Amino acid sequence: MTRVSTVQNYNIMTSNLMRAQIRQSEVGNQVSNQKVAADLKGYAKNAEMLTAMRSTQARLTGLVDQTRQVSNRLEMQDSGLGKVADSTKSAREAIANALASGSAQTMMQQLQAAFGNVVQGLNTKANGLYVFSGAKTDTPTTDATTMGSLTLAPTTASLFNNDTYIATGRVDEQASANIGVLGNAVGEQVFDAFKLVQAHVDAFGPFTGKLTDTQVNFLNGVLGEFDKAYKGVVDIQGKNGVTQKRFESAEGDLQNQVDTLAGMVGGITDVDMADAVTRLESAKLAVQASAQVFTSLQASSLLNVLK
C-alpha cells in the first residue's frame, strides 16, 4: 500500500528546510560582511586568543601613533635647530666678509637679520606648541626681538622663558628616551656672541664704512665666539637627529608588528571568499531541494486522496 503522509514526515522536512534557510542566512552574512562571525561567540575556541590579539594590536597601534607624534616633534626641533645653526653661521660669515673687505658697510644689517632668524628658530612650534620651552609650551622660548634686547636685559639667561623640564617619549613597550631640547641650552651661547657685537656698538658706536684697527682686532676675536656657538648648536642638532632616527626605526618595527598581528587576526576572522561563495551556492541548493521535497509532500496529502 502507498504511504500518503505522516506527521513525522512533515516534521522532518520542516526541520530540514529551516536548517537549510538558517545555513543560507549564516553563509550569506559571511559573504556580505567578509567576516566569519559578528561577535566572539561565533569564533568558539579562538575567542580568547582573538581577544588577546586584538588587545595587543590596539596597544601597539597606540604606540605607533605616539612615536609618529614624537617623530613630528623631533622633526620640528631639527628644523628649528637647523635655523639657529645656519643663522649663527651666516652671522659669522658676515663678520668674516667685513674683515676680508675691510668694510662693515652692511655688516650690522646682516647681523640683525641673522639674529632675527635665530629668534624664529628658538620659537619654533609643533602642533601649536613651543618645542624649546620645556613644560611651558604655550610661552615663547625667548622674548628677544633685536640685538638691542641683548644689552638691555640684565643677563642673557633672563631672555629665555623655558623651564628645566625635558620631555620624554616611549620608544617601544620597554624603553623611553629624552626628546626635549631646552631653548637656553641652544641659544645662550649664540646670544652671547651677538651680545659682544651689540655691546661694542653701544660703547663705541656703529660699524660703518671702513674698519679701524681696533674694530678689526675686536671682530677677529668675535669670530671665535661665533664658531663655538655654532658648534654647540650643531652638536645639539646631531643628538636630536640620533633620537629622531631611533624613533623612526622604532615606528617601523612597531608597524611591522601591527601588520603581522592584523594578518593573524584576519586569519581567524576573515572569510575565504571563494570558499564562502561556494558554500552559499550549496546552501541555496539545499533550501531549494528542501522546499521542493516539502512541496511534493504537501501534494501527497491524505486530503488530496480523499478528494
The pLDDT, as a whole number, for residue 1 is 43
Within-domain flag for 194:
yes
Within-domain flag for 42:
no
The pLDDT, as a whole number, for residue 215 is 95
pLDDT band per the 50, 70, 90 thresholds, residue 67 = confident
Nearest residue to 219 (alpha-carbon basis) of 194, 202, 189: 194
Question: What are the tens digits of pLDDT across the range 123-168?
Answer: 999 889 999 999 999 999 999 999 999 999 999 999 999 999 999 8
Note whether 90 and 190 are same-domain residues.
yes
CA 48 to chain centre: 31
Question: What are the tens digits of pLDDT across the range 232-276?
Answer: 999 999 999 999 898 888 777 777 777 776 666 655 655 545 655
Within-domain flag for 17:
no
Within-domain flag for 10:
no
Note whether 242 and 307 are same-domain residues.
no
Note whether 202 and 279 are same-domain residues.
no
Note whether 97 and 158 are same-domain residues.
yes
Note whether 181 and 62 are same-domain residues.
yes
Note whether 255 and 281 are same-domain residues.
no
Note whether 136 and 63 are same-domain residues.
yes
Mean pLDDT of the chain, nearest integer: 81
Domain tally, the chain: 2
Q: Where are the alpha helices (DSSP H) in the chain?
A: 7-33, 47-101, 107-122, 148-152, 183-204, 213-269, 273-299, 302-306
Within-domain flag for 285:
yes
Within-domain flag for 125:
yes
Q: Does the pLDDT of residue 27 top 70, yes or no?
A: no
Q: Does the pLDDT of residue 109 top 90, yes or no?
A: yes
Q: Does the pLDDT of residue 203 top 80, yes or no?
A: yes
C-alpha cell read off for 221: 676675536
> Using CA atoms, how far apart are residues 148 and 145, in angstroms rounded to an integer?
8
Are the beta carbons of 60 and 187 closer than 8 angstroms?
A: no
SS3 content of the chain, % helix, strand, coil (to 5): 75, 5, 20
Note whether 84 and 142 are same-domain residues.
yes
Note whether 214 and 295 are same-domain residues.
no
Strand, helix or coil at 142?
strand
| Domain CATH code at residue 209 | 1.20.1330.10
pLDDT band per the 50, 70, 90 thresholds, residue 2 = very low
Note whether 259 and 111 are same-domain residues.
yes
Note whether 239 and 103 are same-domain residues.
yes
Bridge partners (DSSP) listed for residue 168: 178
Note whether 146 and 287 are same-domain residues.
no
Average of per-residue pLDDT across 71-87: 94
> Using CA atoms, how far apart are residues 144 and 150, in angstroms rounded to an integer?
7
Within-domain flag for 27:
no
Are the beta carbons of 145 and 104 closer than 8 angstroms?
A: no
Question: What is the domain extent for residue 305?
Answer: 273-307
Within-domain flag for 88:
yes
The pLDDT, as a whole number, for residue 275 is 59
